[in-house]
Amino acid sequence: MEQKSVTALVSTFSRAYHAENNEVKIFDDSMARLFLSEEEYGQISKNMAEGIGFFNPSFKGTPDEALRWVVDNQLSPSPLGRAAFTEKALYAAVSSGARQYLILGAGYDSFAYRQPAWAKEIQIFEIDHPATAKDKRAKLEKAKLTIPDNVQYITADFMKQEWQTALTQNIKFNKNQISFCSILGVVYYLSVQTFVDLISGLSALLPVGSSIVFDYPDENTYTDKGGERAKKQAMLAATANEKMLAGYSYEDMENVLSSHGFLIYEHLTPGEVTGQYFEAYNHANPLHPMTAFDNVNYCLAVRK
């Protein structure tokens, strides 16, 4: 990628919009707005509101109402749900001894800049393409935010082996230290072989007791059985030149992970995600209910 990720910006927009427009939140990303310029925020708002005919042809309402509908139904469910799932799992991992947090495809993830007290003693490694990483650093500087001492940047293509070399050459990284690794919003864009290679690389890199968390599309996502939202999401990604590629059944995923030394510890389907993470928000917002995204599962696996 020679330019910053459009899907990463839209994901950040959805987290910022949710945080700013709701008292009861599925996930409160209080710093997401810092990673969007006024122009970017305004342009995404305009494009999504004007695209209501694509998302919901029968919709009637104001542009602001249209934007809210698109955000709540199309944009926010995945970024909010997977962030809530991940940070809950991260807290449990740190409580159990993990001392390194690897964020693959970090994009505009804000955890490192709003880290709670329990994260101060861990090393955080943000791994992403140079263009997005550079843009993120520039926005941090513009916001006059000091980068915490426990945050390291690894600029590399994590779909290639070079990211492992770049990580292991960082003097702060300890290959013998139990780690937690998140791979959010990434698996959709990887071929099956690239995904298998990534899991294989992590297996070789992470010691026993380490864990990985990721979201992934199920085996029906890119078929006629896929939900309408999933089909529209795939179309949007393709127009941004970020084509979605492969889907997996639970058995497929279990086989890939087990063959590389990982055991599934927690696995959530869309209905389970809605029940666990969206219930309080939906109770407080009966006019704007939200459900976890079609055909997207969450997985937490542990290195054995």
What is the tens place of the pLDDT at every residue in 205-247? 999 999 999 999 999 988 888 888 877 877 776 666 667 678 9
Q: Are the CB atoms for 212 and 100 separated by under 8 Å?
A: no
Residue 1: the pLDDT is: 36
Q: Give the Cα separation of 136 and 141 in Å (integer).
A: 9
Residue 237: the pLDDT is: 66
Query: Is the pLDDT at 2 greater than 60, yes or no?
Result: no
- DSSP SS3 for 175: coil
Q: Give the Cα separation of 222 and 234 in Å (integer).
A: 8
% of the chain residues with pLDDT over 90: 82
Residue 59: the pLDDT is: 96
Indicate the pLDDT class of residue 267, thresholds 50, 70 and 90.
very high
Q: Are the CB atoms for 59 and 52 separated by under 8 Å?
A: yes
Long-range contacts of 141-147 (CB under 8 A, 24+ apart): 143/34, 145/34, 145/113, 147/112, 147/113
Q: Number of C-alpha atoms within 13 angstroms, CB side, residue 11?
A: 22
Taking all residues of the chain, what is their mean pLDDT, rounded to a whole number?
Answer: 93
% of the chain residues with pLDDT over 70: 95
Query: Is the pLDDT at 194 greater than 80, yes or no?
Result: yes
Query: Is the pLDDT at 105 greater than 80, yes or no?
Result: yes
Residue 130: the pLDDT is: 87
Query: Is the pLDDT at 288 greater than 60, yes or no?
Result: yes
Query: Is the pLDDT at 84 greater than 50, yes or no?
Result: yes
Q: Point out the least confidently predicted range of 128-132, 177-181, 266-270.
A: 128-132
Q: Point out the least confidently predicted range of 20-34, 149-163, 177-191.
A: 149-163
CATH class of the domain at 77-303: alpha beta
> What is the domain partition of the chain in residue ranges?
77-303
Query: Is the pLDDT at 23 greater than 90, yes or no?
Result: yes
Residue 131: the pLDDT is: 87
**What are 130-141's pLDDT values in tens digits?**
888 899 999 999
Angle between the N-to-C axes of helices 6-21 and 38-50, in degrees from 0 to 180, rounded to the nearest 10: 90
Residue 3: the pLDDT is: 63
Query: Is the pLDDT at 95 greater than 50, yes or no?
Result: yes
Q: Is 271 exposed, middle or buried (0-12, 13-18, 19+ CB in 10 A)?
A: exposed
Q: Are the CB atoms for 73 and 55 separated by under 8 Å?
A: yes
Q: Which one has a higher pLDDT value, 72 or 3?
A: 72
Residue 242: the pLDDT is: 64
* 145-163 mean pLDDT: 85
Query: Is the pLDDT at 91 greater than 50, yes or no?
Result: yes
> Which residue type, as a one-letter code, is found at position 78?
S
